Structure 1
Amino acid sequence: MSTSYLTVARSASAELEVKRSRFLGHVERVGSEVEARAVVDRIRKQHWDARHHCSAFVLGHDGAVQRSHDDGEPSGTAGAPMLEVLRGREVSDVVAVVTRWFGGVLLGAGGLVRAYGDATRAALDEAGVRRRLLMSRYDLRAGHADAARWEAELRSRDVVVTGVDYGEQATLHLAVPAGSAAGFPALVAALTAGAGVPEPAGESWVDG
């Protein structure tokens, strides 16, 4: 199983013109098919005067879910080349929408493939990329007198401290890359002179 993947760093748009047709490419980070389709619907309503709103999306840390839609363009000339761009950039959890205002000149199949692909690439260039990491989460209980020192020691070892709860004891919520999880209990034992025992609390994907 992969322990990291790329997604877009931010939502972004880019526009190009080909033989008087305008192509507005937009990419956005999403977490589900429902979210992806909601983005398409939002852009369709926002640019209601455009003829086509073609789309493609890739979802999941392994890119297992992939969809594309030509929205009235000749089959294979819009959604498929957009999807190929997403695959080529190796990004996931992202939807791409290219809105076209027809300029009166037919572009032909090859011209459409290039235009939709180029608009998607331009939007991705504007968005940038961000790596997501699979992190193993742990809870570490500490006495109040030790909590701040343990937290500082762990941070100095690049352990992510996602939060601290204070009750009768302090509970440090920690995250480490899944690939480093096997050695984490030994690290905690060394830093706490054997007093700290991290309790596994699952896994989650976080932005690197």
Structure 2
Amino acid sequence: MEEKKEQFSPYRILVERGSGEIIEKKSRFIANTMPVSSEEEAAAFIESMRKKYYDAKHNCPAYIIGRNQELTRCSDDKEPAGTAGRPILEVLLKENLTGAAIVVTRYFGGVLLGTGGLVRAYTEAAKAGLAASKTAWMRYGVMLSIKTNYTDLGRIQFLLAGKGLEAECIYTENVEIQVRVPAEEKDFLLKELTEGTAGRASFQILEEGYYRDFT
């Protein structure tokens, strides 16, 4: 039972890359993000950032991979220990993200920031990069097929809309409604639909698995 409950747990992923920048005491911090699904993809992205910003003093990366954030890596890239990579990684962790990599590039402005200043700057730069990116929740659910007559269609559409579920209708002699439903809501929804149509509607699960939810 615990394993099934864990299977339904939602998680958040990065789906579109972004770039953000801050200036701190003349030092320029540029954060670039990238969706990644493996260490190889993360390594390739990090290397591409190092090549792009080859003249920068530091290119500090962090990434998280795995539905349960099983794999985390970060590097200070010659900044004082704990002042760059870990703060960047903490931003990802606090945002509950996975499948995400960030590289924060620093162009030194000639003014020393100190340990606390570096931590704040790398943290704020990472946040700026994520703010310019796009994320989504991955939720476990089912694609449900609801077959009904035209008399009950409006009632079913009203019930689904009230739950914020987007449905697609296929019109023939009767109506087939296809709708994606979070797994934990399926049984209650079927009960409501059955009661609302006096058992006239029929149901079939077309597929199940994780899907992107942008809400």
TM > 0.5 between the two?
yes
| Aligned residues: CA RMSD | 3.7
- Which shifted more, 101-110 or 140-149? 140-149
Alignment pair present for 1:198 and 2:207: no
Alignment pair present for 1:132 and 2:122: no
1:1-208 equivalences under 5 Å are 1=6, 3-7=9-13, 11-124=17-130, 126-127=131-132, 132-140=137-145, 142=147, 152-153=157-158, 155-158=160-163, 160-161=165-166, 163=168, 172-194=177-199, 195-199=201-205, 201-207=207-213, 208=215
- What 5-or-longer segments of structure 1 have no aligned partner? none
Q: Secondary structure at the match of 2:203?
A: coil
Cα separation, 2, equivalents of 1:122 and 1:56: 15
Q: Secondary structure at the match of 1:3?
A: coil
Aligned length: 207
Over 3 Å counting, the alpha-carbon distance change for 1:146 and 1:49 in structure 2 is farther
Over 3 Å counting, the alpha-carbon distance change for 1:197 and 1:93 in structure 2 is same
Equivalent residues of 2:33, 2:133 under 8 A apart? no
TM-score normalised by structure 2 residue count: 0.71
TM-score normalised by structure 1 residue count: 0.73
Cα separation, 1, equivalents of 2:198 and 2:39: 48
Equivalent residues of 1:189, 1:197 under 8 A apart? no
Over 3 Å counting, the alpha-carbon distance change for 1:39 and 1:158 in structure 2 is farther
